[in-house]
Structure 1
């Protein structure tokens, strides 16, 4: 058996019954004692010692919502995140085109819809770089894209299409596609023709991404995808050595899919990964007009579920619940969140708490819906950078303009959900937003970018405390996945997964927290790097 004693200036156990600890004793990947460093040294004189000096140790941070496997593919091509007007976008696409070899596709990602102003996204507006070449540019929300005429020709898309979801090939008055593709069923028509990277290339990029996530402070993540070749990638990476963090996958169940296709994947696992639930989308995005709102947005859209047959959605979630499978439901609009909360509450009352469900994003909800999180039929899983990186207090962003003032006031209600007694897991939604947990915790407190003190906070009363932000990545993240008995705390019997900071994340100011060095992360009692 391997026994290691970790000592630190301070340990935040996240267990109110254990305070003032300065050491944690680990045996074979599990915590066996927590307490005073001198006492534990005496009780385990043969243990190896990892002295973290002035470091501050917390439970390992877990990203509550990420797309690691799909994200590697989604981030191919030119990054348009910082191109905030059409001239900048066109220049970036033109520069990328100049770098391409003959026959290559022009790819881009992170396109902010604000660049189109009052106009609808289209290939024509993106400029001459898209002319005569297959091009596929994804908007920042990951729910829509713009394809060039040549890409549409290759995909055989020459007019509107009917889908089992509310996805749409946007067409002009003459029925000709503009290039704008809304939601996955429409985007997939073109995306399936984009040349694929090899398994080796995908694996190398994924390994680098996971290493970066671990270095930023993560010891685990809830992965909201498991499409091919995820299983093959995981097996290949683990043949090379341990993953730098734990991964819990949620394969996607889309309208028209057979629920058995995701049930049979449950339990698949490796050393540090497993399939632990299912991801579903009840709606899309506010920017794209595909959210599910109680009343239309300012463009008269966002009025229905992504599942055009909501009865089929109810049946699918009921099957998952009765099978004891966790459901993670993407729901952004107030109507969608309400409908899902009501359904999950009904299932718990009818069959018991057989699974641990969660609602992802929750971008606008009124008081009565916030209050429903108190009964914990579902955890709230939210991403603070969606608010602080894409929206503005002056409401000049596309989200605010599309939604309308009163529902903007009900936006991103992190503090209210906590005050109501709800569980609030925090996450990144990478690659939709940056993954760094320090940025996310800092912005959660400030309600603005931590690195932009010139910006006005967005409804600052919804900011979290430093403790609540840390809980979002530890105790609340563990509860959201049903792992609160083994993860989220530094406690006897728990997994020895830790994050070590150079200073105290609960005491430094939020601006400092955003760049606070991570000394190391520890998974199963093994440090990521020597200290």
Structure 2
């Protein structure tokens, strides 16, 4: 077969797990599939009239990077208004919000608020009342699971006291039953969110297109999207009507507490739907919230007496939902951050052997997302469970500190904080470890995340002490988390995740070799280009 494309590079890491007898420096592609792998001399023999040759020179080529946990559509709502993620003090928060209030429309919006910026000051609506310029305000915290509303927003939404929800959500109130403005988890936030005017579809499509282009330019050729809705489908369809998506998207709609088997059946019917480069392939569930806002599910209370309740008030209903989907060969991905939450998910998945046919269970991948603090016995249970771990190293490096003075560590106490994001221990047990960003909870560029996974501190900040340094990944493990292990985490190892004849021609080209570059240098180096289906999604001008 005449290749459509030949890609040349001085270094090509195939990540197929097989030893190479000589350096691989050439890949041939036909019809979006890898058809040959070899040397530059081999490439001379493959080349035919009409074959396009892209010579990347001294660059390094790897399988295409895939972010195993992201929220591009859901993130459109979470990133409206002023970005507060860089605000380290309450004064900075107030300054940014005051400036935003002078420019915003009818509502003051902000996102990425780190509770550490408040120090000992309680998260309270009065902080927003002082800076909102007479407008209703809703500010999302960095974890995506909580928000603060000002007094006017609560008044407009008719939120005047406590609420009962089907899920573990809360309108936080003071001792007199008056809302403080702090809203925990989706159902509570939605009480205010639904009163905010909706962004026009055309504008949302434009923002999503820009975001996906930025994803591609960061080196991503794919993403596991941990949410999906009718709007998501319409947005993806609209973008595909304008042209190809610049990366593959694999979506998972949410299954929430309070739903029944009839609801699960509707979700199951969405599996396999999609377009040319996007599809619905899994179901996302939650068993807890986050450590920072006291809604994680822990064996023992956190230091404030919180974090002991599951997100599903009746956890057995969560387990029933997992069994429903697993029996139909539908992959699941469950958000579980605390030790008790992870334990319950493992138990639910371990129990499938008695109720799901062995062949169905063998070909269906089930995952746990986040896994922020777990004891040794839970790490050990991963090995025999067959469950995939999906983790985000930059959550550790961006939101916790080695001295445990941050909100996450303070809530957990020293023992549990020392069990932070046990990436290396999970890998050493032989478990598949997919890596990602959870954007917009943390920045999406994969190179800094791969660097952070090795450093256990923020790349570019050598003054910081590493957090649980024994959990550092090797350079190869970090790269595998975005390539071979990302493919395995999606049940796609047969068709992707390595540069192998017969697999998809999805590649990422690096300025520096991610296996030999110093992590801090890798983090600031350039991605030179990406290929999806053997088609260039972007290429730096100097290589075009």
Same fold (TM over 0.5): yes
Q: Alignment partner of 1:114: what SS?
A: helix
Aligned to 2:347: 342
- Determine the C-alpha separation between the residues in 2 that align with 1:125 and 1:148: 8
Alpha-carbon shift at residue 416 of structure 1 (Å): 0.4
Check if 1:439 corresponds to 2:441: no
- Determine the C-alpha separation between the residues in 1 that align with 2:232 and 2:438: 18
Check if 1:25 corresponds to 2:28: yes
Please tell me the root mean square deviation across aligned C-alpha atoms, in Å. 1.3
CA contact (8 A) 1:376 1:422 kept: no
Q: Greater shift after overlay, 435-444 or 351-360?
A: 351-360
Check if 1:158 corresponds to 2:160: yes
Q: Alignment partner of 1:222: what SS?
A: strand
Task: Provide Cα deviations, 1:269-296, integer angstroms capped at 9, x if missing partner.
Answer: 1010000101111000001110000111
**After TM superposition, what 4+ stretches of structure 1 lie above 6 angstroms from structure 2?**
none
Alpha-carbon shift at residue 256 of structure 1 (Å): 1.2
Question: Which residue of the other structure, out of 303, 315, 321, is the alignment partner of 2:320?
Answer: 315
Check if 1:95 corresponds to 2:104: no
Aligned to 1:134: 136
- Determine the C-alpha separation between the residues in 1 that align with 2:11 and 2:320: 49
Check if 1:213 corresponds to 2:226: no
Aligned to 1:270: 275
Question: Which residue of the other structure, out of 45, 48, 54, is the alignment partner of 1:45?
Answer: 48
Alpha-carbon shift at residue 390 of structure 1 (Å): 0.9
Task: Provide Cα deviations, 1:61-102, integer angstroms capped at 9, x if missing partner.
Answer: 00000000011121000111111111111111111111134x
Check if 1:465 corresponds to 2:474: yes
Task: Provide Cα deviations, 1:297-355, integer angstroms capped at 9, x if missing partner.
Answer: 01111112100011111111110101111111000000110110121122145422252
Q: How does 1:281-320 map to 2 (within 5 A)?
A: 281-320=286-325
Alpha-carbon shift at residue 219 of structure 1 (Å): 0.2
- Determine the C-alpha separation between the residues in 1 that align with 2:19 and 2:505: 16
Q: Call closer, same or farther: CA 1:293–1:314 in 2, change over 3 Å.
A: same
CA contact (8 A) 2:128 2:149 kept: no
Aligned to 2:191: 189
Aligned to 2:201: 199
Alpha-carbon shift at residue 45 of structure 1 (Å): 3.0
- Determine the C-alpha separation between the residues in 1 that align with 2:164 and 2:253: 24
- Determine the C-alpha separation between the residues in 1 that align with 2:344 and 2:476: 31
Alpha-carbon shift at residue 376 of structure 1 (Å): 4.6
Q: What stretches of structure 1 of length at least 5 have no aligned partner? A: none
Alpha-carbon shift at residue 117 of structure 1 (Å): 2.8
Q: Alignment partner of 2:373: what SS?
A: coil
- Determine the C-alpha separation between the residues in 1 that align with 2:182 and 2:245: 38
Task: Provide Cα deviations, 1:237-274, integer angstroms capped at 9, x if missing partner.
Answer: 00000001000001111111321232121111101000
Aligned to 1:379: 388
Question: TM-score, length-normalised on structure 1?
Answer: 0.97
Q: Alignment partner of 1:264: what SS?
A: helix
Question: TM-score, length-normalised on structure 2?
Answer: 0.95
Task: Provide Cα deviations, 1:387-411, integer angstroms capped at 9, x if missing partner.
Answer: 0011111111100001111001111
Question: Which residue of the other structure, out of 30, 33, 38, is the alignment partner of 1:35?
Answer: 38
- Determine the C-alpha separation between the residues in 2 that align with 1:522 and 1:143: 34
